[in-house]
Structure 1
Amino acid sequence: MILTLGSAVFVLVSRNVLYSAFSLMVTFLGIAGLYVFAGADFLAVTQIMVYVGGILVLLVFGIMLTRNKADRGTNQPNTVKTEHRRTFWGILAAGGIFAILSTILSKAHFQRVELDHYEAIERKTTVHDLGVGLMTNYVLPFEVAGILLMIALLGAAYLSGKAQSIGNK
């Protein structure tokens, strides 16, 4: 948990975008570890597959393939830096969210499980319940989300094709 929080703070305060992306990877992996400890194994695997395997790799490729015109003449690696001056507001927002979550966790009533009762508790996976829920009670929102994502993908493909045809004229 401390590693996850530390890497999240590093994402917030780092000026080097590439280092922030790698620190974001550590944050995502730490969150997946917290999901494992919470017993949500499906969410942990989904966290790794979607965020670390998909979004973060896309972000790193985007950072590595995008360079400023001023940086193209230099051969220095990892020169993608931000010029943000809003560190105070970011730390203030993160501190506020942390205070709210800390208050919620301090008011929660956790029950301690004794070691001799722990073996009697059956470990149940969440994959079956999640699959049954998505295909019965929540099938309409699941399908609507899929259609909206497909429309967004087609719109992005259309706009990128239109931008290329404008650039060729």
Structure 2
Amino acid sequence: MLSCFYKKQVKMIKQSKYFITGFFLLTILLSGFAPKKDKTKLLARQWIMTGMEVNGKAISTKMIERQQRNGMVTILEFRKNGRCSVKISTSQGRITKRNEWKFEDEQKKLIITHKIKGGTETRQEFDIIKISSKKLILLLKDRRETQIFIYKAYKPKKRQRRR
């Protein structure tokens, strides 16, 4: 009687192993076919530059904070419709460049295109290192240098009306 009970237990354990193994395999297979999240919703907001690296050398956070206090700020604004703007504020004033953006390579690359008068375009191709609702890290490589740009989500302070 004990051996019959033991055989049933062994049989149940083997069946549960096959079930669990099959379940995990099915989960892994289906996750490969699951639609990838569209990063447009994460990107579509304003971003303020909080850090930068050039050829592996970080620009200090203190220096960037000091520049921001002195009015030197870089803000990116991406819209869901594929348009974006870069706002650069300095002590001499503010420059706004209007551009277009799109994803490439399964949303691993961010392409920003700027149209110049006369119909010519400049194109910058960024690798997306990280994108979340709070942080954006982009990598730009060109012939001479590698730059990493670190941004955090930004909401401008609403100005109070004077009475």
Higher Cα Rg, which structure: 2
Q: Same fold (TM over 0.5)?
A: no
Q: TM-score range by the shorter chain?
A: under 0.3
Q: Between Structure 1 and Structure 2, which shows a larger proportion of helix residues?
A: 1
Q: Between Structure 1 and Structure 2, which shows a larger proportion of strand residues?
A: 2
